[in-house]
Chain A
Amino acid sequence: MINVFINNIPVTVPDQTTILAAARQAGITIPTLCFLEGYEPIGACRICVVEVEGAKALVASCSVPVTEGMKIKTNTRRVREARRTVMELLLSEHDGDCQTCERNEDCELQKIASDLGIQTIRYAGEKTAAAIDDSTPSLVRNNAKCIKCRRCVAVCNQVQGVGALFPQSRGFKTVIGPAFAGSLDSVTCVQCGQCAAVCPVGAIVEKSHIQRVWDALENPEKTVVVQTAPAVRAALGECFGYPPGTLVTGKMVSALRRLGFKTVFDTNFTADLTIIEEGSELLMRLKKTLKDKEPVALPQFTSCSPGWIKYVEHFYPELLPNLSTCKSPQQMFGALAKTYWAQKIGKKAEEVFVVSIMPCTAKKFEAQRPEMNDSGVTDVDAVLTTRELGRMIKQAGIDFAALPDDNFDRVMGVSSGAGDIFANTGGVMEAALRTAWEIITGKPLPFDKLHIEPISGMEGIKEASLTITGTLPDWSFLENVTLNVAVSHGLGNAQKVIERITSGKAAYHFVEIMTCPGGCIGGGGQPRLTNDGKRKERIKAIYKEDEGKKLRKSHDNPKIKQVYGEFLDIPLGEKSHHLLHTTYTVRERV
């Protein structure tokens, strides 16, 4: 342990603690812009400078560890002046159209400028020229707002291993962007939006579909239906000041109805459907290899996360046969809403307008993939992030806190707890095993509360082995077979899992990959600023939602039985094949 004095207050912290962390522990606020909890310090912005006795220059508190007896001052005239200068220089080149900026009142630069009491900018510097990149379906970048903090670079390279964004040139000429000053659609960007989720200002935002949705709601020729992804209910409350991990399912449904959606359905319903299809697909692959001795691609990878899909298409096209052919729940929903549900209400596919509320920016990309039109028209018409839904609710003047709880409409709105846990890392695997195990053995998954402990939680790569016993006669070829599964989140971790597989270090049967750290609850479209603490709170909320449900397994969902009985016929059948399954595209690795 190290003993230091911060503003004369004695503080004891573990070895290697940074000055910033020590100060926070002592209840002292130091402003930061480039610092991101849980990451290597970036040290680019210099707003966190402090005075250390004996040091000639001010030091960046985010990157300097404490030493025994260190005397630190965070609030001297010299410190205040230095921070003001840093801030004024940033503001002198920042495109500060705050009133009309999407991040107005949700902007870290604005907040710190206000905290520092900046009222004039002494440096009439040259403004960075606006260079708006709206080349992708999901994200919009505006370099004129970029403060070059490099958070986006850190998440894109360190966490996701995608490498779409880099700092280029030096000094005032520095720009952050894709290689060779290209546009985002010219590189391997997977549209996960983790960059937008960490950007302290409005330099990277989602491509808004809010106007598209208002237009549809006001169009008398459209029947508008909305689906909400499992992760949204555990985070939307944060847009209205609720603590992270507050479940607002009922208020969310209420808010959607007040926005004008006559029918409110749940993506959890098609999450349950995904389990039936994807679980059946896994069992079919296992049967092929173990019983029929036919060649088959294993492990099977989950396919719910569109960033992960695009990542494989760019970086590992040889693994495309390993991806489950199941569409994501969002796309299964769109295809069914415009066929199964449209038939029920006597409408044609083109008269139905499907809106998704997603914790994700890549879902905007997924919705416009050319193959996602199996209903005959685009299956999902608009995708709002959790943040956009929050903004729409505010635009409509709805007092969220005062809303009563409401329920989803039934036809495509009933779901099991297995659908809920799609929101977090380990959830799709657990949901699939809850069903597959019961198909094989006729008995429930033998774990406390049906939770598979080793594959839950925030560890980057998790593995489990389950030896199957007590199989039903049809599945006797699986008796005493040990099923090896792996779960990872964050594409950097996915890369490590793939390396384990291709190098022969691991032989899995089934692998769940979610693009974003923590899974969808940490998605690029969730309320800012997500850290591990918030991720854990949201995951806790999702498991609470799961455990609170009478239905815990996808195959028990009566509406799933109905959709098969009335419309789809059988899992992996002809209709399923046409509406619920998809194909993938080899993409260039630029």
Chain B
Amino acid sequence: MKNKILVVDDDVDFVEATTTLLEAKGYDVVSAANGEEGYAKAKTEKPHVMLLDVMMAHDSDGFDTARKMREDPATKGIPVIMITGIRKSKALPFSFEPDDDWLPVKVVLEKPVKADQLLKTVEEAVAA
């Protein structure tokens, strides 16, 4: 059985490129365009790993979704890789890191993410 990856991002181009990349490496890929849809698909599709953007339906959509997933026993076991351009787009003086108190994700990657780095991170998350 193929490993399934859920890609949650409102950027259609990013979703398409990522899907192509992951499918080429033998993954099954499903996608969602905002946090709410992503959370719903996480429950029905039961992906092995979820890639999650931050700024979608609203500015902290991804942060909120990650927390909602942790609260729900049906989704809390799914490793979340956060991929975001928030630092650059908002000119923040810091980058975000996983945080038990409020940002329950496995890793935060900053866009643009190189293909090999993305694949390596996904591979590690699937293996863990």
Chain A interface size range: 20 to 34
Most-contacted residue by chain A among B92, B96, B97 (CB, 10 A): B92
**Is B103's beta carbon under 8 Å from chain A?**
yes
**Is B93's beta carbon under 8 Å from chain A?**
yes
Chain B interface size range: 10 to 19
User: Which residue in chain B gives the minimum CB-CB distance to A474?
Assistant: B91
- In the complex with contacts A558-B99, A562-B102, A562-B103, A571-B60 CB distance below 8 A: no
Do B97 and A570 touch (CB < 8 A)? no
CB contacts (< 8 Å) of A556 on chain B: these are: 94
**Is B13's beta carbon under 8 Å from chain A?**
no
Q: Number of A-B pairs whose CB atoms are under 8 Å?
A: 40
A439 to B93, CA, bound (A): 6
CB contacts (< 8 Å) of A411 on chain B: these are: 101
Do A565 and B93 touch (CB < 8 A)? no
A562 to B100, CA, bound (A): 11
Do B63 and A566 touch (CB < 8 A)? yes
Do B101 and A569 touch (CB < 8 A)? no
Do A435 and B93 touch (CB < 8 A)? yes
**Is B124's beta carbon under 8 Å from chain A?**
no
A570 to B93, CA, bound (A): 10
Checking A438, A558, A565, A571 against B63 with a beta-carbon cut-off of 8 angstroms, the contacting residue is: A565
**Is A560's beta carbon under 8 Å from chain B?**
yes
Do A564 and B92 touch (CB < 8 A)? yes
- In the complex with contacts A566-B60, A566-B102, A569-B59, A561-B93 CB distance below 8 A: no
Dominant secondary structure of chain A at its interface with chain B? helix
Do A570 and B90 touch (CB < 8 A)? yes
**Is A279's beta carbon under 8 Å from chain B?**
yes
* Contact residues, B95-117 vs A (CB, 8 A): 96-97, 99, 101-103
CB distance from B97 to the nearest CB of A (A): 7
CB contacts (< 8 Å) of A578 on chain B: these are: none
Do A571 and B103 touch (CB < 8 A)? no
CB contacts (< 8 Å) of B103 on chain A: these are: 562, 565
CB distance from B48 to the nearest CB of A (A): 26
CB contacts (< 8 Å) of B97 on chain A: these are: 558, 561
CB contacts (< 8 Å) of A564 on chain B: these are: 92
CB distance from B55 to the nearest CB of A (A): 10
**Is A17's beta carbon under 8 Å from chain B?**
no
- The digit string for B51-73, where 1 denotes a CB below 8 A from any CB of A, is 00000000110010000000000
Do B91 and A569 touch (CB < 8 A)? no
CB contacts (< 8 Å) of B102 on chain A: these are: 562, 565-566
A34 to B4, CA, bound (A): 81
A560 to B96, CA, bound (A): 10
User: Which residue in chain A gives the minimum CB-CB distance to B54?
Assistant: A565
* Contact residues, A552-590 vs B (CB, 8 A): 555-556, 558, 560-562, 564-566, 569-571
- The digit string for A436-477, where 1 denotes a CB below 8 A from any CB of B, is 001100000000000000000000000000000000001000
Do B90 and A565 touch (CB < 8 A)? no
Could you pull out 10 A-B pairs where Cβ atoms are within 8 angstroms? A276-B93, A410-B101, A438-B93, A558-B97, A561-B94, A562-B101, A562-B103, A566-B63, A571-B92, A571-B93
